Amino acid sequence: EINDAGTGNSLYLGTVTLQTTPSGGQWQLVDGTRGGARTEDGNNGSTSSTTGTLFTDADNAWGTGSNSNRQTAAVDADFGVGATWDFYKNTFGRNGIKNDGKGARSLVHVGTNWVNASWSDTCFCMRYGDGDGVSYGPLVSLDVAGHEMTHGVTSATAGLAYRRESGGLNESTSDVMGTMVEFTAATAGDPGDYLIGERFALGNAKPLRYMDQPSKDGASANCWSKSVGTLDVHYSSGVGNHLFYLLSEGSGAKTLNGVSYNSPTCNGSTVTGIGRDAAARIWYRALTTYWTSSTSYAGARAGMLSAATDLYGAGSAQYAATATAWSAVGVN
Ligand code: ASN
Ligand code: ZN
Ligand code: CA
């Protein structure tokens, strides 16, 4: 397959390079270097639509940096797919969502004023809303691209059921890996943080989620309790997100890339972080080796301890921190 490097003028990341496919004197937004991943215009169709119009361009320079040009959001979505593909490949040796080398489709401009994005196993595609234009812009940020593609990875691996505690763990897995994509891409426009959706929050609007202290969103759980599984999965995910923050960065206050965090533990303990790369390796090994469709938070702890043993040894600092951090979110 022939592939060319194009230029994208994105909404959130300035000028980026995109891999595109020449066809009939034009270029298509199809990335032959990442499994033929394609980016389409959803034409503001229904949020369950599965078909769009493939973006094509006459000079291989895409978007204008403004959302008034329909290609602009497509540039961000396409770049996010590439960043997520590269993260999984370079970090875990995973070759695409199903580890079969096949790229997914992305549909941008889905729905009308839709403040959401989603993944579907059925169409093997992501859909992105444009936001309401008041509190939120288009949801085509790196953390959301990584979040949605990770739903496909979870489905292809542990298969965490999207309800009760396993559903919270499923959602948290997407926030964790979406955050890792953002940090790993390390772009000047979005250098990495433990917030979800901050890049498209407008004015004083809040990010969608805070991993250091999930309750800052007004609804998510910081700590496990026996009723946590009755929350919406985007709120019970707080337990897993808090665990990941504590295991990565440790408890207490910290500023990173200009963002301030404060992560108190649920049991008054002090947690020393092991760094997000080690935390993500442990998480991914648990996801792909130990967790199943019905894994609860207690099972998540057990699986991550097994994963830490495999990767670092039972006597390692990484193993000890995994145990301390899970206890710090109330999972003993
Ligand atoms: N944005 C949501 C998510 O990926 C869509 C949903 O509720 N499934 O979790
Ligand atoms: Zn999700
Ligand atoms: Ca983020």
> Which listed ligand is nearest to 143 at the C-alpha?
3
Tell me, yes or no, whether 156 lies in a domain.
no
CATH, residue 118 = 3.10.170.10
CB contact at 8 A, 223 and 297: no
102 and 220 assigned to the same domain: no
- Distance (Å) from CA 116 to ligand 1 centroid: 7
Contact 107, 124 (CB under 8 A): no
User: What is residue 2's predicted lDDT score, i.e. its pLDDT?
Assistant: 81
Residue 145 lies in a domain: no
Q: What is the CATH number of the domain that holds 318?
A: 1.10.390.10
Asked whether residue 218 is assigned to any structural domain, the reply reads: yes
State whether 180 and 323 are in the same domain. Answer: yes
Q: Are residues 128 and 173 in the same domain?
A: no
Residue 133 lies in a domain: yes
Query: Is the residue at 148 inside a domain?
Result: no
Which residue of the set 109, 147, 234, 242 is catalytic?
234
- 323 and 188 together in one domain: yes
- Ligand 1, residue 147: give the atom nearest the CA: 4
**Which ipTM value was assigned to this complex?**
0.94
Residues 118-133 have pLDDT tens digits of 999 999 999 999 999 9
**How many structural domains comprise the chain?**
2
Place of tokens 């760094």: 275
Q: Please list, in sequence order, all residues whose beta carbon lies within 8 angstroms of the beta carbon of residue 61, skipping any fewer than 6 positions away.
A: 6, 7, 9
Q: Is 148 a catalytic residue?
A: yes
Considering the domain boundaries, does residue 146 fall inside one? Answer: no
- The chain-wide mean pLDDT, for the chain, equals 98
Regarding whether 233 and 99 lie in a shared domain, the answer is: no
Whether residue 170 sits in one domain with residue 112: no
Buried b (16+ CB within 10 A) or exposed e, 111-133: beebbebbbbeeeebbbbbbbee
Give the domain-ending residue among 140, 173, 191.
140
In the predicted model, is pLDDT for residue 188 greater than 70? Answer: yes
Same domain, yes or no: 25 and 128 = yes
Per-residue model confidence (pLDDT) at position 1: 59
Q: Which residue is catalytic, options 40, 109, 147, 148?
A: 148
Task: Say how far apart CA 187 and CA 87 lie, in whole Å.
Answer: 13
259 inside domain: yes
Give the three-class secondary structure for 253.
Answer: strand
Residue from 118, 140, 148 whose mutation best tests the ligand 1 pocket (most atoms within 8 A of CB): 118
**Which range of residues forms the domain containing residue 71?**
4-140
196 and 312 share one domain: yes
Judge if 102 and 34 occupy the same domain: yes
Does 182 share its domain with 133? no
Contact criterion met (CB below 8 Å) for 41 and 109: yes
Query: Is this structure's pTM higher than 0.90?
Result: yes
Whether residue 135 is found in the same domain as residue 258 = no
Is 149 within the bounds of a domain?
no
Mean pLDDT confidence for 28-57: 97
Q: Rounded CA gap, 203 and 232, in Å?
A: 27
Rg of the chain in Å (alpha carbons): 19
* Residue 206 and residue 297 share a domain: yes
Asked if pLDDT for residue 115 goes beyond 70, the answer is: yes
